[in-house]
Amino acid sequence: MSTVATSFGIEEALQQLGIQEINYGTSTGNSWMPGDQLIASYSPVDGSLIGKVTSTSKEEYEAVMKAATTAFKSWRTTPAPLRGEIVRQFGDELRRLKEPLGKLVSYEMGKSYQEGLGEVQEMIDICDFAVGLSRQLHGLTMHSERPGHRMYEQYHPLGVVGIISAFNFPVAVWSWNTALAWICGDVCVWKPSEKAPLCGIACQKIAAKVFAKNDLPEGISCLINGDYHVGEMMTTDTRIPLISATGSTRMGKIVSKTVGERLGKSLLELGGNNAIIVTPDADLKMTVIGAVFGAVGTAGQRCTSTRRLIIHESMYDQVKDALVAAYNQLRIGNPLDENNHVGPLIDKDAVAMYNKALEKVVEEGGTLLVEGGVLQGEGYESGCYVKPAIAEAKNSFEIVQHETFAPVLYLMKYSGDVENAIALQNGVAQGLSSAIMTNNLREAERFLSHAGSDCGIANVNIGTSGAEIGGAFGGEKETGGGRESGSDAWKVYMRRQTNTINYTTNLPLAQGIKFDL
């Protein structure tokens, strides 16, 4: 174990979570299968090998699906409030293991320890939300046009839910899906990112312990591991009616096409190209805080990270100077050290993408206000630490039109009224998160109107990054259109059924149709 890992208690955290040097990567609960190939997990914090996970073979996948489809038959008949009790116990286990799991998230993914703890708190929060929801899976009643008839609708469990998650939120996004799916009576098969597989092992062990303690069958919570070939086993499998996939737009298009060809359902959370509009009535201090955290939090590796800052020309120089000053104060280094603001990118491929983005924006005519670069020397041995950069750019630049999953912030001016800024914000293919900084009520309401932001999330006087459990999370356009977490997002995990009951001795038809024998 490295000096960093020892100093910050990573070894103890791994022991608490049951993480070994070699970990079986396929599970139906407390049963684990050995697999054939190994996936190595290296920490971007210091480049050290944390552990290895076996990938899932076709034979093992079939065993998982057999267990899941069998477990569904009994789990769906368990009363929803009792399913809620299981999720409540799972949330309590997460509370008990919040610190070690948060450390694993930070060390394996590279986000700050505070963000790692925050991610586990999201898991706890969605469990709390789901427990309450377990008594509210309600449908509607409606009046029938036929006398002596009653109509209503109800929701039934969907079946096996396949979950494909990304590295940047290695535990929270799984829990958003899983807690709701379990409440709805579904069983889950999860493929974590191969860039953060140990987080998946830890979560599966926590969940399996709860299910075993309650004498519930194997298969309600299942884990598989591997690259996109393992993901393809899920997307092509007609036994999985819903695939929830988080990742790039490119990946989402492949998943959507594959699942759509078999008439399955997709819940897609894909790329973001999020902007903050800064109007002449903006509070400068709030703007800087919101923009800086949005741009550099998780080293710019959030789908809600702030990529673009659209600033009114009258405020442009003032905002620009304040941002440059703030960036000069950023501390970059070990994310487990809470004195640092910015940790590493996930791997060297991400570093290469970051470098290409900076080269591209200059080629297209942009100007670097805060130059980037890869950090070297003591503390940066992994080669994954980069400097957050700011570039003046135009919305029409090709590089600006695409999501750069790194801490690169593009500044641009707008003139005239807020409609011009909204047009710039909406002028990209993605539609996840958006924000406006203004104390002008008319500007705020215009931004939130039908003709305002075209994103799934639209905020006033907070940044683009971060979301609360209570609201549905997701975006439009090339972000995929999916909704997870709060509000009525639970409905995607269920099938809707309309029921009509005739309590008379006659059989009238709808629309007044006559059919006499």
Which residues have CB under 8 Å from 66's CB, separation 6+? Answer: none
State the DSSP code for 265: E
CA 470 → CA 137, 147, 453, distances in Å? Answer: 16, 41, 21
CA dihedral 192, 3, 118, 307 (to 10 degrees): -80
Alpha carbon distance 191, 162 (integer Å): 8
The residues that are catalytic are 269, 303
Task: For residue 238, give the nearest of 265, 256, 218 by alpha carbon.
Answer: 265
Question: Three-class SS of residue 131?
Answer: helix
Residue 446: CA count within 13 A, CB half-sphere: 17
Q: Backbone phi, then psi, for 469, in 5-degree steps?
A: -65, -35
Residue 225: CA count within 13 A, CB half-sphere: 30
Alpha carbon distance 61, 27 (integer Å): 9
State the DSSP code for 506: -
Sole residue written with tokens 């959030």? 302
Handedness of CA 350, 352, 358, 361 (dihedral sign): negative
Residue 229 exposed, middle or buried by CB count within 10 Å (0-12, 13-18, 19+): exposed
**The token pair that represents 300 in the structure block:** 């710019």
**The token pair that represents 373 in the structure block:** 């670069």
Between strands 367-370 and 433-437, the pairing is unpaired
Are the C-beta atoms of 229 and 254 separated by less than 8 Å? no
Task: Kindly give the residue spans of alpha helices, DSSP state H, lying in 24-57.
Answer: none
**The token pair that represents 390 in the structure block:** 């700011």
